[in-house]
Amino acid sequence: MALFVRGLIFLLCFILLAAADQRRHWVFFSDKGSAEKYSFGKQKAMVEQKLPAQVIDRRRIRGIDPFSKSVIYADLSLEETYIETLRQMGFRVHATSRWLNAVSGYASDTLLRRIAVLPFVEKVTPVKKWIIDKKTAPEPSLIQFPKPFLSDNLQDIGYGLSTFQIEFHNIHLLHQKGLTGEGVIIALMDTGYRLANPALQHIQSRLIAEYDFIQQDSVTSNQPGDVSSQDNHGTLVLSVLAGYLPDTLIGPAYNASFLLAKTEIYNQEIHAEEDNWAMAAEWAEQLGADIVSTSLGYSTFDPGQESYTYQDMDGETTIITRAANELGIRGVLVVTSAGNEGSSPWYYITAPADGPYALAVGSVNSRNNVSLFSSRGPTADDRIKPDVVALGEGVYGASTGSSFYPAGGTSLSCPLAAGVAALLIEQNPYLNVDDLLYVLRTSGDSAAAPNNDRGWGKIDALRAWELSQGFGPDSPLSVHAYPNPYGHNMGIVYFPVSLPSGTDEIHLEIFNILGQKVKDSFQQGLEGMNLVRWDGRNQHGNPVAAGIYIYRISTPSGKRVGKLTVLY
């Protein structure tokens, strides 16, 4: 018997050690396999066949060429023979990413060494698992409210508990214009969602799809294996964005449509694995998302893992940020919490807030002072972050039951900003990511002197709406710089500007990544196409340094903002 027990213990230990040796890893492929043999026309047809028409339309409306070579290549499917080879070797696939050209899954260290030398494998790296500081205030005595009469008349809506957070950003003034998020698709990535609260029951009729990327099923509320609090955080965030219970709780974009992705594990701390987020990003884009709202920033890893450092917060290194960049390239605005690390040793913004296409939202209190916990900038490559701030203390939201409570953290600032963005897109679907970043930043109360504590300042929904007027198919929306990237040996940068009628003055401004204006020029334009020129020199006639620059073209009929890379 003793021998049997010892044998059983040995077997259990062996199983546990084997399981411990099966941590998830990324396997990055070196190419897209057989698809690379086809002409670009054939590759385009392959992608177009799989892309929903609404996705192609959204990309076009946002000024994105849906069939540019770089976008087509990233949208090509992974090479199935590569994946099958890994499976046959014993690799257990968990996630696939077309944009990253990679799969994640489980394998022993011995197997990973064999996989790393395969001719089609570029590299093998661990899937990072992050610990996220919740910084959400514990629920006080919850506030119970009877369900009031629901009115469709905007003038009859009482904001109740949400009055301050709505009026703080002038969101009510856009509601009065009839803007409620109608026709805009918002994807949320969080811990899960329970729609039982009276303020969230309308979401069922506005839900396009939901998916649990942890357990890989379509259940985003709690299920066996989840702790009881798993879906608390996501439910709270969704209610701040889109709650609808007149006289109790109203979110900025309660009439939007939703994609709900469950991507984070909620225990004593929130745990998130980066491959789940990357998978969810591709899923959301394929289903037509206009906005991705993610209220959890990623910085600190589980013990025992090799961590990213602040130097990796450069807008292009972490898996999360790379996936967010791919969303931006495809015309999807990523609105993300700046992070809750302002009073921690990390201090700085967290991924994907470092991304150039991400609107990073910090937190302020009711006195418009930056919250102590709100993560600061700059990025590692010295760009100003956060982009804007929104209320992040004493923000009211819904519980998973029938009650409501105030909470804090940049997790709550993010949905308020995402809601404002949704109202702007409802009003003007032609706003692309650059346009949205411009109007939201410029609406801020620190836009005249942005800094790394509050970015461009507290969002003002009405001001952003005013700034967004004039963007459209007949405005300078079609402006694109070329060549881009630009080198000083290339001579001139051209900005084609189409003026609808009459003779108008065209104003060109060039800013560096610190927001400092390096060039300011005017030229008289004529009806039709005009070429605005810049020789790569600053106001003093000296060549500008290599780096990222923002250009702004202004005419009486509209504005256009874009990014220009100067190589040397």
129 vs 505: CA distance, rounded Å: 53
Per-residue pLDDT at 128 exceeds 90: no
3-state class (DSSP) for residue 45: helix
pLDDT at position 476: 41
Sign of CA dihedral 158, 161, 164, 165: negative
The lowest-confidence range among 43-52, 94-103, 395-404 is 43-52
Is 268 exposed, middle or buried, given 0-12, 13-18 or 19+ CB atoms closer than 10 A?
exposed
State the pLDDT at residue 148: 34
What is the per-residue pLDDT for 483? 74
Q: Could you report how far apart the first and last alpha carbons of the chain are, in Å?
A: 77
Between CA 252 and CA 422 the distance in angstroms is 8
The residue-averaged pLDDT of 478-488 equals 70
| DSSP-assigned letters across all residues of 366-400 | TTSPBPTTS-B---TT-----SEEEE-SSEEEE-S
Task: Among 16-30, 192-206, 329-343, name the one with the lowest average pLDDT.
Answer: 16-30
pLDDT at 272: 66
> Which of 548, 163, 64, 55 minimizes the C-alpha distance to 391?
163
Q: Between 307 and 434, where is the model more confident?
A: 434
**274 vs 280: CA distance, rounded Å:** 10
Given a contact cutoff of 8 angstroms between Cβ atoms, the answer to whether 102 and 471 are in contact is no
pLDDT at 9 over 70: no
Give the pair of three-digit tokens for residue 145. 């409210």
What digits encode the pLDDT tens for the residues 256-298? 999 999 998 876 555 567 889 999 999 999 999 999 999 876 6
Spell out the long-range contacts of 13-18 with Cβ–Cβ below 8 A and sequence spacing 24 or more: 18/108
Identify the band that residue 144 occupies on the pLDDT scale cut at 50, 70 and 90.
Answer: very low
Q: How confident is the model at residue 306 (pLDDT cuts 50, 70, 90)?
A: low
- Is the pLDDT assigned to residue 138 strictly greater than 90? no
Q: In this prediction, what percent of the chain has a pLDDT beyond 70?
A: 84
Mean pLDDT across the chain: 85
Q: What is the DSSP letter of 64?
A: -
pLDDT at 151 over 70: no
Give Cβ neighbours of residue 3 (< 8 Å, ≥ 6 apart): none
8 Å CB contact between 375 and 348: yes
Residue 503: what pLDDT?
61
Domain positions in the chain: 20-127, 132-468, 476-566
Query: Does residue 501 have a pLDDT over 90?
Result: no
Q: Which pLDDT band holds residue 524 (cuts at 50, 70, 90)?
A: confident
SS3 363: strand
Name the CATH architecture for the domain at 132-468. 3-Layer(aba) Sandwich (3.40)
Between 48 and 192, residue with greater pLDDT: 192
| Predicted local confidence at residue 560, as pLDDT | 73
Over the range 128-148, which residues count as b (16 or more CB within 10 Å of their CB) and which as e? bbbbbbbbbeeeeeeeebeee
Distance separating alpha carbons of residues 296 and 311, to the nearest angstrom: 20
Highest-confidence segment of 3-12, 409-418, 487-496: 409-418
Return the structure tokens found at 298: 């990623």
**How is the beta sheet containing 264-266 ordered, strand by strand?**
264-266, 270-273, 129-132, 300-301
Given the candidates 3.40.190.10, 2.60.40.4070, 3.40.50.1980, 3.40.50.300, the CATH classification of the domain at 476-566 is 2.60.40.4070
Share of the chain above pLDDT 90, in %: 58
Give the mean model confidence (pLDDT) for residues 199-212: 95
Do residues 324 and 281 lie in contact, with contact meaning Cβ atoms separated by under 8 Å?
yes
Task: State the average pLDDT over residues 100-129.
Answer: 94
Asked whether the predicted pLDDT for residue 465 surpasses 90, the reply is yes
Q: Assess contact for 164 and 251: CB atoms under 8 A.
A: no
- The band of 218, judged by pLDDT with boundaries at 50, 70 and 90, is very high
Q: Is residue 93 over pLDDT 90?
A: yes
Tens digit of each residue's pLDDT (9 = 90 or more) over 40-89: 888 989 988 888 877 887 887 787 777 788 889 999 999 999 999 999 99
Return the pLDDT at 300. Answer: 64
CA dihedral 324→357→64→493, nearest 10 degrees, is -140
Average pLDDT over residues 12-32: 69
pLDDT band at 23 (very low <50, low <70, confident <90, very high): confident
pLDDT in tens, 176-185: 999 999 889 9
